[in-house]
Amino acid sequence: MHIDVAAISAALLQVVIAGLILGAGLPALFALGTRLLAGTEEHPEVSSRARAGAWICFALCAVAAVFGIVIIVFGKVIFGA
């Protein structure tokens, strides 16, 4: 019996990277968007630049969520398995 340690290590690395991006990256991106929309005590009005940045963060989170749903629903058809 031969165990391919290199292939297992590569697969594990891919899972860890995907977990960090999706598990920590998307919530951090959403938190950044929320922070950009929050004013301060001194300046309660949010600038248009910060508002645009927040909506970009929210749009990226929405695109990632839709992409995840598409992969779950149509994954085998998309990837030809």
pLDDT tens-digit map of 30-59: 999 999 999 888 888 999 999 999 999 999
Domain residues for the domain of 34 are 5-79
pLDDT of residue 80 exceeding 70: no
Position 52 scores a pLDDT of: 97
Per-chain mean pLDDT for the chain: 90
With bands split at pLDDT 50, 70 and 90, how would you rate the model's confidence at 76? low
> What confidence score (pLDDT) does residue 44 get?
86
User: How many other CB atoms are there within 10 angstroms of residue 30's CB atom?
Assistant: 17
Q: State the total domains in the chain.
A: 1
